[in-house]
Amino acid sequence: MTSSTAPRTAPWWAGAISGFLAAAAGLAVGTGVSALLTGVPSPVESVGNRAIDYAPPFLKDFAIEQFGTNDKPVLIAGVVATLAVVAMLAGVVGRTRPRTALGVIAVLGLVAVAAAATDRTATASRALTLVPTLVTVAVAVGAMVLLLRRMGRAVTEAHPLSTGFDRRGFLITAAGLTALAAVGGTVSRAVGGAAAAASRAGIRLPRPARPADPVPAGAQVDVKGVSSYLTSNKDFYRVDTALRVPDVPAEGWQLRIHGLVDREVTLSYREVMDMPLVERRVTLTCVSNEVGGPYVGNATWLGVLTKDLLERAGVQSEADAVKSTSADGWTAGTPIEALTDDRSSLLAIGMNGEPLPLIHGFPARLVVPGLYGYVSATKWLTDLEVTRFSDFEAYWTPRGYSAKAPIKFSSRIDVPGAFQELPRDKVRVGGVAWAQTVGIEKVEVQVDNGPWQLADLATEDTTETWRQWSWQWDDATEGSHRLTVRATTKDGTTQTSDRARIRPDGTTGWHSVQFRVA
């Protein structure tokens, strides 16, 4: 028994605060250091990146379905929350077992160091990449030691001279560490990712040598709520594995074309800009798009035909694939025909009249009509290797996705939205349909279990872009109804009602919407 005046064990909240502050100060300083180094991910990003690489496909599908484009912030929040809880528990335990607390912090640190050592997104040297995590561990352990000292120990037979909880000293130390964390946080916010943004701001794109034909009048149907025929950069969907957008200034950027070629070609951004540029409208589609989903967008792209680039390098006859790699190490595998036949496959540097936005691949990316993004649309592109499918696996292949993935043609109802109420005198509906490189021949709609009826097709732009449709229900009846859509391609194939899941090579099925007529 200790008397009431004897030193006592620090309260649990002091332990929790200690663990939290040690982790926060370590991470903030480590993240600040990473922001000052080019091509070095922060410790949390490295852990997140490795988590993405290891995540089983069902988890990735779940994350995309539940959180959509927010899946990355959710992942980061998950990493941070897990760390905070473990660190706080370590602090609580540390009041009586300081060594255990330090051991837990060290193990967390080791996990971060291992993640940084194997982070494929790092473009700096390995040694440099380890610096932020090592700093994080050093600061976190140091902070924990300081706080544990202030918390003291309970007086026991083994520690008869212990001073116990030094409340005043503890609060002062905690305040100091909070300030340190704030400084680290401020530095990371101020300098992170700035180089590419500055580079992009200074670019004036040349006029295309071959501009795209104007969008035909009538490509946009006149039904309020149907997607804009051209998707603005701000509204264009984003899908990628990058927790931090790769910071690639145009000035240092190079594209290397090598492998089964007659001569290697290396291009700078300037050299690409000085080539005769073409402009094409192409509709991109993600394999993760559910039937009726949002991961499809139509933009005007500016760039160089990959056909011309590959011709410069001279493709050898045994090649059947191009492996493209981004600055963050992500890879895609594309059949060589898709990059050399007559379609508008581009090395793109412009999107809707601007340099590529950072999240859409600045300074350069691939755009390939007719193939899902994960097998073709490499953003932050740095390397094209002409090769054979039998000699490599691209990023998503060992994760349960097909090595080859042409876009499955589809159609979507934009209006009515789910459970929308339409006035009885004006039941106008509409949406989009796409069958890149083939073209949409007809779109049909069905109300409840009624007959299929022909929708009006908007004017076709090209077979590489989506096509809008609309339909008016003249003898609409009040009440709740279901509208279903299906498209037929110029090949004469009609969409199947069979539902296929996202994995391994994209969804099928008809889009249906429940709505009301009032």
Ligand X SMILES: Nc1nc2c(c(=O)[nH]1)N[C@H]1C(S)=C(S)[C@@H](COP(=O)(O)O)O[C@H]1N2
Residues that bind ligand X (CB under 6 A): 236-242, 284, 286, 326, 328, 330, 360, 373-374, 377-380
The correct pick among 373, 406, 430, 509 for binding Mo ion (CB under 5 A) is 373
Residue number, nearest CB to ligand X = 373
Token representation of residue 46: 């490295």
Could you tell me the smallest distance in angstroms from the CB atom of residue 286 to Mo ion? 3
Tell me which residues in 263-292 interact with Mo ion (CB under 5 A).
286-287
Query: Which of the choices ligand X, Mo ion, none does residue 377 contact, using the CB cut-off of 5 to 8 A by kind?
Result: ligand X
Closer residue to Mo ion in complex, CB, 188/285: 285
- Contact by Cβ (8 Å): 457, 467: yes
Q: Is 374 in the site for Mo ion (CB under 5 A)?
A: yes
Query: Which of the choices Mo ion, ligand X, none does residue 241 contact, using the CB cut-off of 5 to 8 A by kind?
Result: ligand X
Closer residue to ligand X in complex, CB, 32/373: 373
Closer residue to ligand X in complex, CB, 101/239: 239
Token representation of residue 173: 């130390």
DSSP labels, 2-65: --TTS--PPPHHHHHHHHHHHHHHHHHHHHHHHHHSTT---HHHHHHHHHHHHS-HHHHHHHHH
Could you tell me the smallest distance in angstroms from the CB atom of residue 441 to ligand X? 26
Number of residues interacting with Mo ion: please give it, by CB under 5 A.
5
Closer residue to ligand X in complex, CB, 27/286: 286
Could you tell me the smallest distance in angstroms from the CB atom of residue 368 to Mo ion? 12
Could you tell me the smallest distance in angstroms from the CB atom of residue 436 to ligand X? 13
Alpha-carbon dihedral of residues 503, 506, 508, 511, nearest 10 degrees?
110
Radius of gyration of the chain (CA): 28
Closer residue to ligand X in complex, CB, 25/286: 286
Query: Which of the choices Mo ion, ligand X, none does residue 389 contact, using the CB cut-off of 5 to 8 A by kind?
Result: none
Q: Identify any residues that bridge with 444 across adjacent strands, giving them in sequence order.
A: 454, 486
Closer residue to Mo ion in complex, CB, 362/374: 374
Give the closest residue to 112 by CA, choosing from 177, 186, 42: 42
Instruction: Find all residues with CB under 8 Å of 170, minimum gap 6, and list them.
Output: 10, 14, 147, 150, 151
Closer residue to Mo ion in complex, CB, 71/441: 71
Token representation of residue 18: 């200690």
Q: Where does this chain touch Mo ion (CB under 5 A) — which range of 235-243, 244-252, 434-442, 445-453? A: 235-243
Query: Which of the choices Mo ion, ligand X, none does residue 510 contact, using the CB cut-off of 5 to 8 A by kind?
Result: none
Cβ neighbours of 421 (radius 10 Å): 11
Tell me which residues in 484-503 interact with Mo ion (CB under 5 A).
none
Q: Is 293 in the site for Mo ion (CB under 5 A)?
A: no
At residue 414, the 3 state secondary structure works out as strand
Q: How far is CA 89 from CA 103, 310, 338, in A?
A: 12, 57, 54
Token representation of residue 330: 């992500």
Q: Which residues bind Mo ion (CB under 5 A)?
A: 239, 286-287, 373-374
